[in-house]
Amino acid sequence: MSGPLLPGATIGVLGSGQLGRMLALVARRMGYGVHVFSPERDSPAGRIANREWSAPYEDLDAARRFARGVDVVTLEFENIPAGTVEEISALAPVRPGLRALQTTQNRLREKEFLREAGFPVAPFRAVPDRASLDAAMGEVGVPAVLKTAGFGYDGKGQTRISGPEDAGAAWESLGGEAVLEAWVVFEMELSVVAARGTSGLFAHYGAVRNTHDRHILDLTVAPAGVPPEVEEEAVEIAAGIFEELGIVGTACVEFFLTTGGDLLVNEIAPRPHNSGHWTIEGAATSQFEQQLRAVCGLPLGGTHRPEPAAMANLIGDLWKSGEPDWTAALSVPGVSLHLYGKKEPRLGRKMGHLTARASTPEEAARKAVEARESLGGA
């Protein structure tokens, strides 16, 4: 590609869930075509896209046909087989790129990359088999967290080990190559959502504060309310990771802020992130428009935040007693609703989110939570 991809070009998206849907909404608004590729049919993103390719990610013939019909490819889901991405890369640029994808889709590779590059991480050990787990516990200590090496998200594929007596059951629950990480006593969880363009320019939204429920993001508040030096360090680490991995597009770096005031990198997501959804209403340029701008080689947009904002996730549990009371939620001033077009509201499934803006982070959080509580349900 010799220059930026302008409106009229077609964007290919690997994955067809809510992140692809929100990217597709921006792309269509800005005059781009969108093709999505995933095993799903009539998917949240597919209903917005110009074309939905429904095939297994391992179907290389379908992947090549998909790639020939688009000008650039990005992703909303990192667990794409590397072989498929390689095939697509031969026919169209893939952004953020194969290295970022291969590194972040495997926890062990990700942790080793961070450690070797000098970024702060909690102590960890590779656990290729059951026999290795006891030795790893001796080195890392307990309590600790045993995580599958690959294909985990929202707390899936991980279990806590409180003592040696838990080791056998923990290993059996995962049943494959794993990583043992030291248990981190933290004050809060933070994330930095940012974007890097084809020229290497970097733009970020600052540090935001996240709280989780059952390992699923529950509430994000922007700004995080941490000391300026902590936010500056988090942004500096994120920028370094983007540069090292050559990321082009929007991505997220998640952190623990320990009770001792240290930052530790928890995970890297090479795509837009749940903790950046507040940017749709709360920033000059949303994380999804930023992703589109970056992968198309356009100038990155401003990241100014007019006022504090908060985002509350809507999980399928809210539908347990019937349709939520949308009228009640939208009666809270300054609250916006996003639903992802998923047909079945399963327990623990992300179905949408609410955002709120206010004069203080605390007030924005209060409004988002008040609106969600007014929906009824679980």
Query: Are 198 and 145 contained in the same domain?
Result: no
Is pLDDT at 78 greater than 60 in this prediction?
yes
The alpha-carbon radius of gyration of the chain (Å, integer) is 20
Chain segment 216-262, per-residue pLDDT in tens: 999 999 999 999 999 999 999 999 999 999 999 999 999 999 999 99
Query: Are 174 and 200 contained in the same domain?
Result: no
pLDDT: which is higher, 156 or 290: 290
Q: Report the alpha-carbon distance of residue 210 to residue 255 in Å, rounded.
A: 10
Q: Two tokens at 286?
A: 């949303």
Query: Are 276 and 356 contained in the same domain?
Result: yes
Tell me, yes or no, whether 103 lies in a domain: no
Is pLDDT at 142 greater than 60 in this prediction?
yes
User: What CATH number is given to the structural domain containing 271?
Assistant: 3.30.470.20
Query: Are 211 and 152 contained in the same domain?
Result: no
pLDDT at 302: 98
Query: Are 267 and 311 contained in the same domain?
Result: yes
pLDDT at 378: 45
Chain segment 331-371, per-residue pLDDT in tens: 999 999 999 999 999 999 999 999 999 999 999 999 999 99
Query: Are 211 and 304 contained in the same domain?
Result: yes
pLDDT, the chain, mean: 95
Tell me, yes or no, whether 105 lies in a domain: no
User: What CATH number is given to the structural domain containing 130?
Assistant: 3.30.1490.20
Strands 249-258 and 186-196: what pairing?
antiparallel
Whole-angstrom CA distances from 115 to 118, 246, 265 are: 5, 17, 10
Query: Are 206 and 307 contained in the same domain?
Result: yes
Chain segment 252-306, per-residue pLDDT in tens: 999 999 999 999 999 999 999 999 999 999 999 999 999 999 999 999 999 999 9
* Mean pLDDT of all residues in 35-39: 98
Reduced to 3 states, what is the DSSP secondary structure of residue 111?
Answer: helix
Query: Are 195 and 175 contained in the same domain?
Result: no
Burial of 214 (0-12, 13-18, 19+ CB in 10 A): exposed
Q: Report the alpha-carbon distance of residue 4 to residue 263 in Å, rounded.
A: 36
pLDDT at 81: 92
Query: Omega of the bond prior to 143 within 30 degrees of 0, cis?
Result: yes
pTM, entire model: 0.95
Q: Report the alpha-carbon distance of residue 95 to residue 248 in Å, rounded.
A: 6
Tell me, yes or no, whether 66 lies in a domain: yes
Tell me, yes or no, whether 3 lies in a domain: no
Query: Are 159 and 192 contained in the same domain?
Result: no
User: What CATH number is given to the structural domain containing 31?
Assistant: 3.40.50.20
Query: Are 82 and 164 contained in the same domain?
Result: no
Tell me, yes or no, whether 114 lies in a domain: no
Q: How confident is the model at residue 174 (pLDDT cuts 50, 70, 90)?
A: confident
Q: Report the alpha-carbon distance of residue 235 to residue 135 in Å, rounded.
A: 35
Window from 23-32, 52-61, 77-86, 145-154 with minimum mean pLDDT: 145-154
Identify the domain containing residue 177 by its residue range.
123-182
Tell me, yes or no, whether 335 lies in a domain: yes
Q: Report the alpha-carbon distance of residue 32 to residue 20 in Å, rounded.
A: 14
Tell me, yes or no, whether 246 lies in a domain: yes
Q: Examine the fold and report which residue of 94, 112, 142 is the final residue of a domain before the chain moves on.
A: 94
Is pLDDT at 53 greater than 80 in this prediction?
yes
Name the percent of the chain lying above pLDDT 70: 97
pLDDT at 183: 95
Is pLDDT at 158 greater than 90 in this prediction?
no
Q: Report the alpha-carbon distance of residue 287 to residue 273 in Å, rounded.
A: 8
* Mean pLDDT of all residues in 38-51: 97
Q: How many folded domains does the chain comprise?
A: 3
Sheet with strand 335-339: strands edge to edge: 263-269, 249-258, 186-196, 202-213, 216-222, 309-315, 350-357, 335-339
Q: How confident is the model at residue 213 (pLDDT cuts 50, 70, 90)?
A: very high
Q: Report the alpha-carbon distance of residue 31 to residue 295 in Å, rounded.
A: 15
Q: Report the alpha-carbon distance of residue 59 to residue 97 in Å, rounded.
A: 20
Query: Are 209 and 350 contained in the same domain?
Result: yes
Query: Are 193 and 217 contained in the same domain?
Result: yes
Q: Within 10 A of 6 (CB to CB), how many other CB atoms are there?
A: 13
